[in-house]
A and B are shown apart, each in its own frame.
Chain A
Amino acid sequence: MNFEIFLQLYGYLALMVIMVISLYGIVRGASLIKKLIALTIFGDTANALIIFLGFKFGEIYPPVLPTLKPTLEDIAWFVSTAVDPVPQCLVITAVVINMAITMFLAFLVIQIYRLYGTTMVKKIAKLKG
């Protein structure tokens, strides 16, 4: 039991640290590619966070009821063993959205490289004019 609490705390702490690091990367990244990578890490950390939220330690079964006409005991067993399915639905949606944004940003970075010949933020700011 203690080990589980430790694991949970460790997980949340690690996710928070990654989140802060990726935010730093988005703000201070020297190249647009690095900013893009930091942005995907940030999005994935949010997804990992919500998966972690729905996670359960111990004996786990898939969130499917094995009987057609469940009794109260079946439902109680189901609730105590199944992982919360809602976060997984949310993550599927968020992953698709993140993919769309990443693709769009990757296109823009390519376009910036075509126009400016560089992806370094400072050089682009200098070339502006």
Chain B
Amino acid sequence: MTWTNYIAGLAALQPFLAIFAAFALPLISLLAKRRQIWECFTLTILLINFALSLIVFYYMYNFSCKPLLYAFGSWPPPIGIVYTIDRGASLIGLLINGLVLTAMIFSIRYMEHEGGTQWYYTLMLGFEAGMLGCVYTGDIFNLFVMLEVMSISAYGLVAFRRETHEAVEAAIKYAIVGSVATTIYFIAVIFAYGSFGTLNMADLALKLKDSTLPITGPPIGDILIGSTVFLTLAFWALSLKAAIAPNHFWLPDAHPAAPSPISALLSGIMVKVAIFALMRYMLTIFKGTIPTFPVVELLNYTLITMGVLSTILGSTLMLVQRDIKRLIAYGTILNIGYIAMGVGLANLSGLVASLFHIVNHAIGKALLFMAAGAYIHVTGSRDLDELTGVGRRMPFTTAAYLVGALALAGAPPLSCFMSKLLLFKAYLESGWLAPLVVVIVLTSVFALMGYLKVFYHVYAKQPTRDISSVKEAPTLMVVPLLVLASLCIVLGIAAPIIVDNVIVPGALSLLNTQDYVLAAQEAAKLIMEGG
């Protein structure tokens, strides 16, 4: 055992700890009936996970340029399940842990009038475990399992207010569509296994290049057909999970129906986890490996088309919404379109823009949903017409909302402006795709109009009803908002430093198939010689 094994172990510990806590919490709630105890327990686990992911992130960026590999039960890679943690994965892992922690702190006061919060925190911990597993895993079947863990928790959280018509209806729609998507991903895994004879991602990449890990032999079927079917089905399933148009139809119902902190998590990172898995397949594993049949290139162009479609649909439909949370949910479709457009370029500049936009949009969107949650918590309404003027009585929340809205719309010194600029530059350099920059600019303008419509209603417009009883949201809700808002500003102002030191190395590690494969080979060799 060397030092690096421990670091990889710390990454693998995070999903385990979260799922362990998720199973322990209902038992604890049988013994201790006080919600403070449940909250303390969840908060402790999430803090430990955050600290672990911070250590992994720090180590990956400072001491290790190669991906780390954790083999479960010390089975060598193609036989056992492995977690492969590279810089990009450690970055997204940190983002997931940070946002779940913030949403949990926000939930303490937000859920104070609701019953059954032990189940709420149980599902939240399961949700975190699923997302972390999806990001860290290096095994295509384990990705399916973790996708299901994440999705089932998400269905449960959307249906959490089971007495309301809206939540149950949104949850059943989301659950049927989502489980069809995951079953289709499972069928894709069947095709990959039937043609390659392996479930390990590194082994897949090696078999495409006519070599293998130790232990396994050559592919058992036609890898051309196998990889084409696998990629196409997996692309469809993951694009549905990521809500890229035309597979976005479930999102505007499901995301607003959940409690606000959960909407923040669903819109903030869950869709990005699916995009990250897509990046893993299209940019790390299958990139440039099948020259005779350009399925990856075709899928890249499909992704760009779908991305453009989502930006246009999301930005125009945003303008006509009357429900504050539905409006913000349409903003997610718009921004996932930008990310898809960046991934579809399949080069470094596009990927850097996408990765940076993932971070910025996750923070900005979580901020907006939580600010909307603060308005809803105080006034009890989601209709924009009933929220008129309440922003004047809630200065901190409104200030945080304004920062988030301007950041997401792309106002110059703030975070999303920088990532949109990178995307703009990537498209200008891309040759014949350059005219698509018009889409980026135009949809940003629409987004600004949509977000400022909310600001106009809650702040500038004359109140239509008596708002003298409205007070600022509780401190435990305002503090997470202000933390996220300051992150939006810092990510914008320090963008050049962050892009050079964090985003570019992360994107490079995602594009580096060679190191990814080498890590698996070395680990397999080490385990075989050791045991």
Chain A residues engaging chain B, CB cutoff 8 angstroms: 19, 23, 26, 32, 35, 39, 42-43, 46, 49-50, 53, 86-87, 90, 93-94, 97, 100-101, 104-105, 108-109, 111-112, 115-116, 124, 128
Contacts and interface: CB of A to CB of B under 8 A. Distances in A.
A42 B175 contact: no
A94 B165 contact: no
Contacts of B189: 90
Contacts of B172: 32, 105, 108-109, 112
A80 B169 CA distance: 52
A43 B162 contact: no
B contacts with A: majority SS: helix
B141 to A, nearest CB: 6
Interface of B: 141, 144-145, 148, 152, 155-156, 159, 162-163, 165, 168-169, 171-172, 175-176, 179-180, 183, 186-187, 189-190, 193-194, 199
A100 B165 CA distance: 23
Given A49-B187, A94-B186, A86 B199 contact: yes
B145 A39 contact: no
Nearest to B184: A46
A111 B183 CA distance: 24
10 contacts: A42-B180, A53-B190, A87-B190, A93-B141, A97-B145, A97-B148, A105-B175, A108-B159, A108-B172, A112-B169
A contacts with B: majority SS: helix
Contact of A46 (B152, B159, B186): B186
A49 B176 CA distance: 21
B193 to A, nearest CB: 7
A94 B188 CA distance: 13
Contact of B162 (A35, A46, A90, A111): A111
B155 A46 contact: no
Contact of B141 (A19, A26, A90, A101): A90
B183 A53 contact: no
Contacts of B163: 115
A87 B191 CA distance: 12
B165 A116 contact: yes
A63 to B, nearest CB: 14
B179 A101 contact: yes
B179 A124 contact: no
Given A39-B176, A100-B148, A105-B176, 16 more contacts: A26-B176, A35-B176, A39-B180, A53-B190, A86-B199, A87-B193, A100-B152, A101-B179, A104-B155, A108-B175, A111-B159, A111-B168, A112-B168, A112-B172, A115-B163, A115-B168
